[in-house]
Structure 1
Amino acid sequence: MEHRTFDYLNSRQLPTGRRIFALKAMRRVAEGLGEAAIVARCDRAIAADEACLRMEMTYRQGKSFATTARGGAAELDREIDAVWAGVHAVAQGQAVGEDAVAEQASAFLKEVFPEGLAGLVKLSFEAQLAHQELLLERFDPNTGDLGAQVDALGVRRHVEHLNFLVPRFRAELERENAAKVTFEQVKRARRDCLDQFAGAVFAVLTTFDTDSAEHAERRAACLAEFHRQNASVVEAYRRQSKVEDVNPETGEPVAEPEAEPIAEADAPAPAAADPIT
């Protein structure tokens, strides 16, 4: 039997908007504490969930499609993957040695390719697009936190090529609503996002993993919104009422579009257990 990361988290399956809202709250606290690793986990989970939210919206609008009908997106995807392979190869080459450039290259590989090249280029089109757009923002020479590393490693030319290709990739996915979604795709995306969400929660728990007052306080601060959203969903189940999603920016409940609702991907997780703090 397959055990996914989310299976180990004692939580209800929060709707996508609630996950994004909780992740953004977690990210703000982690950033204030200077916990870059937790911030990075939140960024990846938010990017994936935002792609999932767009997929859910498309599905609810009744736009089902065959997965092979993706216009020119597949060809652009191959071009983009080749450029990322070049970036990865250059960074790996620069990581050899013990000088400052080698240290920057090693740090760059951990930030950009935490799961290796395949971890970036083997994602679904929508998730890959979200991750790549986030990375290109971080590569900006003026405002990005990885801009200096890009120049130091000599991959600015690759990044400029990606800045040309990735917007075309987005346009192709959106062209004439060609990127329509099946229910099975929504379920797969949601399961992947639930795993990433759980991973962000676990990152908090493993970072602040002692019984000290400081760690307990930081755990509680990072996970406060997660607990609030989970309690809200548990209460809805208790009342046997509909679980409303929320606006991921404001946290306000949103009405379901008048279309086929999206059921939970799996049965709800058990509600009766000690809370994670």
Structure 2
Amino acid sequence: MDQIAVYQKRRQSLYGWMLAAPALILLTIFAFIPTITTVWSSFFSSETARLPAAFTGLGNYSDLINDPAFWTVVRNNAVYAGVTIPFSIAIALAMALWANASIPLRGIVRGAYFTPTMLPMIAAANIWLFFYTPGLGVIDSITSLFGIAPTNWLGQPGTALWAVIVVTIWKEAGFFMIFYLAALQTIPPDLKEAAAIEGAGRISYARRVLFPLLMPTTAFIFINALINSVKLIDHLFILTKGGPNNATKLVLYWIWEMAFAYFDRPHAAAMTALVLLALGAVAVFQFRVLDRRIHYR
């Protein structure tokens, strides 16, 4: 009997590894190996036709930290993430609450909210490029009715980043709304009826029942929004190309620029490693802290 039990256990273990093998193979080829290669290459200098790559240790990281452009990019990305994440989440929640209510033409409202998400990134950027065109765009056409002079929204350091932020919020809010809408539809209506019987108003119900039940969804959306905030590159190619004067240059665009425009692969690899380290710290914080506080057990 013991041998039969051991055989069955080994067979079940083999089945498990067979089921996990496709995902492990894909992750190894497209995630683990590129990550290890990138981190390893960040410790070497650039290779030329005459000089092979030399081990520099943390030299590339030191160069980045001492580069003023590095801190400009970090500051831009911090402002970008600090504005787009909370506003996208708040607007998505408001849209989901409205789209989930008993209103006329509810299906059309949901479709209208989700439409920006279905547009390709390049198409959305070109639409907003027309909106921001100085003197001829939709925004300046409206502001001119009130006697406001045309503004070069994408050509001024003081407004360019905020113009990109508006595009991102418009693009992502509808996508995040879908998750909130799905979460709202899983909340039993009995909870609202019970809260009303207990004398709780709309604000008390939202603060003590609705929002706590939506916290797992909010955490999921927050992590996705944070990841999106460090991988924006499509909009920047069309709208600003990182300008003016690095005012809209974000992390991923700067990595691409170093690697493929300046052919500085080692410093691009070092910057990529720093981004992976930051995202890894966020993932650890999520699993060790957030998950324990937001899920009911």
More helix by share: 2
| TM-score bin, normalised by smaller chain | 0.3 to 0.5
Q: Whose Rg is larger? A: 2
Q: TM-score, normalised by structure 2?
A: 0.31
Q: TM-score, normalised by structure 1?
A: 0.32
Structure of greater relative contact order (alpha carbons < 8 Å, 6+ residues apart): 1
